[in-house]
Structure 1
């Protein structure tokens, strides 16, 4: 179990530092998802320029490759952040992925693009586990879900800004390569002040079953402890299954809307990202506030708020899948907004729930394992969706399956039993 927060963690100076950390990481989260999302909004331009991409399945394979290497390296990045320094892990990740983003704007073939996106997946994998673990290190009590929610807002802003990349790609004087050059340089430059201002917090002390202070675990001990934790396994499954739908929505919705409603690449990119990410942005703050308040009455408060979000995602999947067949752009937008509301409630509480079931020294590693499983499955979903699209499988059938998966996920989260006092 973990020792109670010290008096210093409740002091005004410490809390100012805690919120400063969230503020410093907000732009990093934005860049993290902008750099990975904008290629979906510029798909037509990229495929038109790099013609040896050839097919939807090849495009899906490239997206899947990013996710698979991201998945493999997420536990490694999490363990490094737990074992050494969260600050250095974050700053190093930002610098390297930003350099690769810049290089992506200079590729000339599908093979070069494929390997650039693969290397970006490796470098970005180190960020999220370290960042969320650092935030929960600072926010030890009644502000945890809100702090994570504010950080996740950066992710949603990144996806929304990425949605406008289609307009930049369509601009004759700019083009898709400009976006990669600009965002890559922005990340490289921001890594310098971030390294100077960001600080690790002294680690919380954990006690083993005998009441003795426990050391930072080795790789083997960490993996065994996590994988024999029933609640952790349930959370991994709960974290993974809804992400199958989310990755398809994030990566393929611009192309889906453009084809189904015969709209421009720019409008499709904005419509596919702005509505649901804007809704998620607002609901992450609301969900974080509600979860923190609910925790005053019940240790399952964050679980209940996350479950409410999952209940909203289920009908949203049916709406997204059926809108093209009904030729209703309004239904597509409404379903995406509902999906965003549900996703915000879900997303802002995953790390806080993890913090209730594992000790502090394993949080980044645990989140890395969650990312590993989720992204591996997300890569299969991306590749599979491209293959099914080539073979004419109806969208309402695909998203109907996603809806049923979310119903099962709802059952899983309600089975989690957090530790008292966490």
Structure 2
């Protein structure tokens, strides 16, 4: 029987992770941290970069939009490569190339050069997340999959939190220093992965079932179920909010509460990412435990957290009290963390193993196209002299939409 038509019933569910499973999570935690640190630290250096490289606010928004569009468009292709070839090789190549691009960013002098490096960053990072999450799903079965995914995703949030250092580094050592340092660190970390990271040995791991079908055939197979459409729509809705926060929250806090660049950068990242760190761990552990008795637990855990977060995000847009805004950031971070810990496990419940990386790449495509739109919309609002609270209000509405959509996800297997 072809791999693309095998029954879910044919795939046994193991009760424990295979050997080396937690080592893989630990190694990929470091890669995930570098992945997000390299991509988001630019947003906390806005004033310093604009002073060194002349551009308008819409141009600055375009930097994130260009990255997200390229990253999103190529994510399904990167996922397809990870499904067809070695996950390990795809991860290694992605890490080394984006680290070299990060290093090269420290030498740019014009807006177009900076834009080119963001485009190249999108190309090189497109392969990593789908391949990494699929590798973790290969190693970890239903009993530990959400928690293992959550640990890895906490590395991404650690990278986003550390990205908040960008404003401080830019003010004290120049904006290019961070790009140079972390680009070099990424290349060195790639040597460590080359020695210790291995593809899953399990005979049921997707990486050992190489698919021969074109990427569009895989896409049609994935979207043949209503559940895939639902999770794609909710991922897009939450991505609008997420990238609005990542790209424009430092600017919103700086202007709305009259903060310094450094303080606004830390406030916009540290509270939200610490909460997200807690969310991926708590949400992953909670979903693994609850899923033993409730098939839909992996969707219901983030649904609950996001329902609670939506009204607090709305308060963030309109409050005059910084501590109230911080509560909204914490609530959103925790809810997003709960979803990030469970997104690949939810996908494993509706997609076949040999399509997991491609499926997550398609979700990235949806999320990045919508997220790129929110990043550019923030720049347009700034150029039009309109308050960024409108952007945050829209984000709150879409957090609620995402939570409601999760209620309709019907799993096809325990996974």
Output the TM-score relative to the length of structure 2: 0.94
Aligned twin of 1:236 = 232
1:136-161 CA distance string (max 9 Å, x none): 10001211000000001101100111
Aligned twin of 1:197 = 196
Cα separation, 2, equivalents of 1:150 and 1:221: 32
Extract unaligned runs of 5+ from structure 2.
Answer: 1-7
C-alpha displacement at 1:351, in angstroms?
0.6
Kept after mapping to 2: 8 A contact 1:3/1:204:
no
SS in 2 for 1:27: helix
Kept after mapping to 2: 8 A contact 1:89/1:130:
yes
Kept after mapping to 2: 8 A contact 1:309/1:344:
no
Size of the alignment, in residue pairs? 405
Aligned twin of 1:285 = 281
C-alpha displacement at 1:420, in angstroms?
3.2
SS in 2 for 1:349: helix
SS in 2 for 1:400: helix
Matched, 1:169 2:132: no
C-alpha displacement at 1:421, in angstroms?
3.3
Q: Check 1:249–1:361 CA distance in 2 against 1; reply closer, same or farther (3 A cut).
A: same
1:234-288 CA distance string (max 9 Å, x none): 1111111011011010111111111222222111111110001001101211111
Cα separation, 1, equivalents of 2:101 and 2:342: 31
Cα separation, 2, equivalents of 1:310 and 1:65: 28
Matched, 1:95 2:70: no
Extract unaligned runs of 5+ from structure 1.
Answer: 208-212
Aligned twin of 1:106 = 107
Aligned partner of 1:364 among 357, 363, 367: 357
Q: Check 1:285–1:400 CA distance in 2 against 1; reply closer, same or farther (3 A cut).
A: same
C-alpha displacement at 1:29, in angstroms?
0.3
Aligned twin of 1:210 = none
Q: Check 1:165–1:107 CA distance in 2 against 1; reply closer, same or farther (3 A cut).
A: same
**Structure 1 segments of 4 or more deviating over 6 A?**
none
Q: Check 1:217–1:410 CA distance in 2 against 1; reply closer, same or farther (3 A cut).
A: farther
1:154-165 aligned at under 5 Å gives the runs 154-165=155-166
Aligned partner of 1:379 among 368, 372, 376: 372
Kept after mapping to 2: 8 A contact 1:313/1:343:
no
1:396-418 CA distance string (max 9 Å, x none): 43322222222222221111110
Cα separation, 1, equivalents of 2:210 and 2:280: 34
Aligned partner of 2:257 among 242, 256, 261: 261
1:87-113 CA distance string (max 9 Å, x none): 000000000000000000000100100
Q: Name whichever of 341-350 and 62-71 sits farther off.
A: 341-350
Output the TM-score relative to the length of structure 1: 0.92
C-alpha displacement at 1:216, in angstroms?
2.1
Aligned twin of 1:23 = 26
Aligned twin of 1:140 = 141
Aligned twin of 1:223 = 219
Aligned twin of 2:399 = 406
Cα separation, 2, equivalents of 1:369 and 1:353: 14
Aligned twin of 2:292 = 296
